[in-house]
Each structure stands twice: as structure tokens, then as C-alpha cells.
Amino acid sequence: MAAALKNDRLLRALRREPTDCTPVWLMRQAGRYLPEYRQTRGRAGSFMQLAQSPALATEVTLQPLDRFDLDAAILFSDILTIPDAMGLGLRFAEGEGPRFEHPVRDEAAIRALSVPDPTAELRYVTDAVREIARALDGRVPLIGFSGSPFTLACYMVEGSGSDDYRTWKRMLYSRPDLAHRLLDVNARAVTAYLLAQIEAGAQAVMVFDTWGGMLTPDNFQTFSLDYTRQVIAGLTAGIATRPGLQSVPVIAFTKGGGGWLESIAACGADAVGIDWTTSLHSARSRVGDRVALQGNLDPMVLLTDPATIERETKRVLADFGHGHGHVFNLGHGIVPATPPEHVQALVETVHSASVPYHRNGG
């Protein structure tokens, strides 16, 4: 049985329930900006050895919580674990980022794909979730995550990161049937993967649609959001059929998706993450109380100085304003050059400066 939560601010905020202050966690809060992470990474020998070791993944997941008064832990893993489990051969070359040895670019390769078993090929992830949940012992909620079907496909077709994902986008236009086949397999794989994380102890899950913002409005709906919607519907259905499994909040995040905020808010997620290019005030007025909002400090603010961080953090809090349903976060992941003491300044400011926005029922 899971330990009772000592700090449930995050879950309450995601469900738009009252909190004493605004909860805060940071995308990539476990990572290279922390010297203790770099030491653990050195012991592991490689990024994949680190991610595939439940003990080391637990260690680095908890490192930022031991430094900062964060309101959530997020599983240390990578969004590309699913395609790696499909046999694409993920590797991380120093200074080059992730690469697949076997990208999928033709009909035969795509039709050969199948949904990996999260209790087999991805067992190391679910084992890590269980170990992290035990180590947390109810300290804060644990967030599980996956890349969105569309974002996974971007890497699977290109074979690596890209400035424009031209090979994948060419397929969207010239062979939409193949694109949909790939996206459907990914959606079923993401659904199974997140359900397994929830069964293992994740108390919220997040779908990262990192590259959906590069699409045209019609293509975003057709090739990205429809498949995120399929994942969320699959989670709801899957939880309903598994005895003892309770619903958990789902966060949907599309980098560059501010233009489609209303549609994203209607996809079935409990919360929508937004980047720094969309005003929280504007987002709140557009979606009302349909969803909670997560965001949205520009990560580059953390490269400045404590006074600037305090000012900009207060600006983000004021932009959301009074009431509940706000989870403070960055508009994207923390950058490796961030000084840890700047994160400390951010977290302290969020907790202290947000209290007045939650008084008297908000």
C-alpha cells in the first residue's frame, strides 16, 4: 500500500482544489545542473546505464528534493525509451544527443513495429518507479511521463533530433497512411507504458509533446492532438478495468502550442502545460476552469541573478492571479548552466510570494 502523502499540493492544484500556496516543480529538475547528478552519471558510465538502473534512477530523482523544497518528484528517464524497446537501438553520443541505429522510414519498417510490453522490455522503468515511490515514502507525489506519440515519431523517423524534421514532415504530407500507422502504434505503446507507471506508483503523469508546435493548425489536430487524446482516453479506460487502480491527474504539454490552447484543454487532460510565449492570464481567460495550468517561467531567467529571478517569478504568479489550479514550472526544461542556488531562490519565492493568492478561498 502506498504511503500517505505528506505534501499533496501538486495533486490538489492539478485538480483545481484549494492549496495554501502554489506548488512548484521543474522540468528536468534532476539533471546536469546539479554536481551530485554529474557524479552519479560518472559512476554509471553512460546515460543509458544510468536510466536503466532503478537504483541510480532513484538516486538522481531524489537529488533535487534533497536540495530544494519542491512539491513533486518526476521519474528520471528519457522520452525515447519506448522506441528503444521497439528495437530502434537508442544510443547517446557525447555532444550529439540521442540517435537511433534503425530509424523507421519506409512501409516495411513501420508495419513491423509493435507495442512493447512495459513489464518486459521496459521493466527497468517500472522497477524504478516502484523504487522511487518506496524511497519517497509519501514525501511528495511522483510524476510519471512519456513523450507524445507525435514527438516520439519525430525521432523515430529522423533517427535523431533535427532543426525541421523534414523527413517526418514529408511523410505526413506524402504518405499520411504510414504516418497514422506509426502514430497509432505509438499511442497504444504510450498508453500501456503510462498505465504501467501508474500501477507501479506514479501519482500523476505528463505527456510531453515537444515538437507539436512546428505543425500547421490542421496537422496539429490530425497528427498530434488526436493521438494525445487517444492516449488519455486509453488511460481512463485502462484504469477503469484494473481493480484497485485509481485515476491520476494527467498533464498535457505542447511546446509552442499556445495558439491551440482551447483544443489542448479539451483533450481530456486535467492540466495543460504552457511555455513562456503564452501569457498565463490570457490562457486562464481562454480556458476558464476547465483545466489547471502549469508554467511558465522562461528557463533563461535562472541564468540571471536572485533579484531578477524573484522579480520574474512574482510576475508569473501575478499573471495567473488569485485562485487555485496553478502549478508553477518553467516553460521548458531547466538548462545545464543553471546555478543550483538560483533554483533555491525560485522555489523559495514561489512558496512565499504565492500565499496571498490563495487566501480566503482565492
Catalytic residue status for 270: no
Instruction: Name the active-site residue from 16, 33, 71, 78.
Output: 78
Is there a catalytic annotation at residue 188? Answer: no
pLDDT for the residue numbered 95: 66
pLDDT on residue 98? 87
Which of 15, 32, 67, 123 is flagged as catalytic? 32
Which member of 37, 155, 165, 357 is catalytic? Answer: 155
Q: Are strands 142-147 and 250-254 parallel, antiparallel or unpaired?
A: unpaired
Which tens digits make up the pLDDT trace of 316-347? 999 999 999 999 999 999 999 999 999 999 99
- Whole-number Cα distances in Å, 3 to 24, 73, 124, 280, 320: 21, 15, 22, 34, 32
For the chain, list the domains and their CATH numbers.
9-361 (3.20.20.210)
Cβ contacts of 267 within 8 Å, gap of 6 or more: 225, 228, 229, 232, 252
Choosing from 9, 12, 16, 41, the catalytic residue is: 41
CA distance 353 to 302: 17
Under 8 Å between Cβ of 291 and 255: no
Beta bridge partners of 341: none
Q: Tell me whether residue 124 is one of the annotated catalytic residues.
A: no
Q: Name the stretches of the chain with pLDDT < 50.
A: 362
Per the annotation, the verdict on 28 as an active-site residue is yes
pTM above 0.85, yes or no: yes
Q: What are the backbone angles phi and psi of residue 341, rounded to the nearest 5°?
A: -65, -20
Give residue-wise pLDDT tens across range 2-28.
678 999 999 999 999 999 999 999 999
The pLDDT value recorded for residue 23 is: 98
Could you tell me if 25 and 346 are in contact, meaning their C-beta atoms sit under 8 angstroms apart?
Answer: no
Q: Is 78 a catalytic residue?
A: yes
Where residue 85 falls (left for φ over 0; alpha for ψ -120 to 50; beta otherwise) is alpha
Q: Which of 9, 12, 16, 28 is catalytic?
A: 28
pLDDT at 1: 56
pLDDT of residue 359: 85
Tell me how far CA of residue 116 lies from CA of 51, 88, 119, in angstroms.
18, 12, 9
Quote the CA–CA distance of 129 and 343 in Å, as a whole number: 25
